Structures are given as structure tokens and as C-alpha cells.
Amino acid sequence: GTFHTTPTDGKEKDRLNFHKKGGGGMEHAVASVHGGMMPKHKSKRRSESKRRRDGFRIYAQAEQEKRLAVFVSGGGSNFRAIHEACVDGRIRGKVVAVVSNKPGCGGWNYAQEMGIPTWCYPNLTSEPTSVNEKELTTMLKETLLVDYVLLAGYLKKIPVELVHAYRRAMLNIHPALLPSFGGPGYYGIKVHKAVVNAGCRVSGPTVHFVDEEYDSGKIVGQRTVQVYPTDSPEEVAARVLKEEHVLYPHVVASLCDGRVAWNERGIPMICSETEINKWE
């Protein structure tokens, strides 16, 4: 698809309030930014034939608030953006757990301030809330009944067992336009240095589903920013981070609303209320 630069005027930004009544329409390439809430369903049970239309199927239908676990390693600004969107009702979900490999980091401290339970993974003998791989999966899946796992600047590789437990239910955000500038070694300011050194004219965040490899899962949303020849990596990083705080809550809200569809090639997209009604 064609990338569009991020809108900067107030009218365009207002259109990103995707839960406002009557909102809708594609706002950015790759990320299908639509408005509207989930429609009320006449019946909880639908045959597969009724749920499949035009080569796509609704992966999840939201009927109640979803339970979210967020993984962090640093300041946790994306976690804060997601949590705030849950609190003010833009996301139909609740953060019920925060997991970090760095107890005491900004995201960890924010979670404790907000009264959100915190756990440490990988296991640290000095941290009483540490869990091992098996305990982590059991805790999230069976004890806390977490619906979706959200990686928000978490720098450790996710256990394969957990990835399998949350297939198509685990998201990550990356500060570049994947598949470029992704994979092992591409994180934080290193990403933006690579973008600047390559002479790119656009960059931006990517939200993707998580699989067994770094940054290789299916892309569900992207936003773009301009990169100028005179930019420093820090300037690009600040510009991209601002868009991360828009994109990630939107994708999480769409997932919690059940507005994510997958085509027969395994490509996800975000759907509007109108599109979902078409498939009923």
C-alpha cells in the first residue's frame, strides 16, 4: 500500500477519535483506521458460513471488557497511553498485569502507582515476584484469564510456549516501518540511527502480531512521519514516539472490540462497524 504522511491539522486529528459515534473511514495506509463501536449481535452463535464474507473472517467478537497484560522494559510510555485509554473508555479493556525484566523501571513503577500487579520475567532470585516460563504462561492464561498480551518496549524474547498460548492475541510495537529496520539488534535509538543513516524520507511505528521471531509477525497497523536530511536520530525518535501513542491504543481498542479480521492468506486488517455488519 501507499504510505501517507501523518496528518497534522486539528480536523484530521479529531478523526482519529475512533470511538466517537458515527466516526469512520480509512485514515492511513496499512493501518485501517476506522470508527464506530462493535454492533450488537442478534445471536451469540453464528455459523462459520455467516461469519465469512469476501475472503475475510472476524477473528474475535467482543462482548465484555477484555483483560490485558502489558510487558515493559523501560519508561513505559506506550503502556501509559494504553492504560489511560482503558481508563477513559477508548479501549474496552483493563490492564490486569504488568510483566518486566527490569523491576523498578518506569513502566513498573507506574503500574505500582496505579495499583496494577507486577511480575518479573525472566526469573530473578532477588525479586520475590519473579516467575519462570511455565509459571508465566499458567499465571496469565489460567490464573489471571488474560485475553491479550501487549509488548510495549519489552526487550527480552518471549517464550515460545507463551507465543503459542496467545497466537493472534499478542501484539508488539516497533519504532520503524517493518519489515525494514527490524529483527535482532534493532531497538530503541539504534533503529532511528539506522533510519537516518540510510537516508530514509519516511519512518514511523508498526504494530504487529507476535510470532516466534523478532519483529516478523503479521502487521496490523502503521503510521508515518517525515524524516528530513537534517534530522538527528533523537528528533526522529521523538516524532515516531508521538505516533506510537496514537497507533498502539487504536489497534488495541480494535482488537478488544473484535474489529480485527484475517483473510485467507493470514493478513489481518482493522474493520469498521459498517464492514462487520456487511458480514453478518
User: Which of the residues are catalytic?
Assistant: 174
Put residue 215 in one of left, alpha, beta given phi > 0 → left and psi -120 to 50 → alpha.
left
Could you tell me what percentage of the chain is helix, strand and coil, using 3-state DSSP and rounding each to the nearest 5? 30, 20, 50
Residue (of 97, 93, 79) closest to 135 by Cα position: 97
Which DSSP letter does residue 69 get?
Answer: E
Q: Within 13 Å, how many C-alpha atoms sit on residue 243's CB side? A: 26
Taking the C-alpha atoms of residue 45 and residue 36, their distance in angstroms, rounded to an integer, is 22
Using CA atoms, how far apart are residues 44 and 165, in angstroms rounded to an integer? 24
In angstroms, rounded to a whole number, what is the distance separating the alpha carbons of residues 243 and 88?
19
Query: Can you list the alpha helix ranges (DSSP code H) found in the chain?
Result: 10-14, 48-51, 77-87, 106-113, 133-138, 160-165, 189-197, 233-257, 273-278
Is 45 strand, coil or helix?
coil
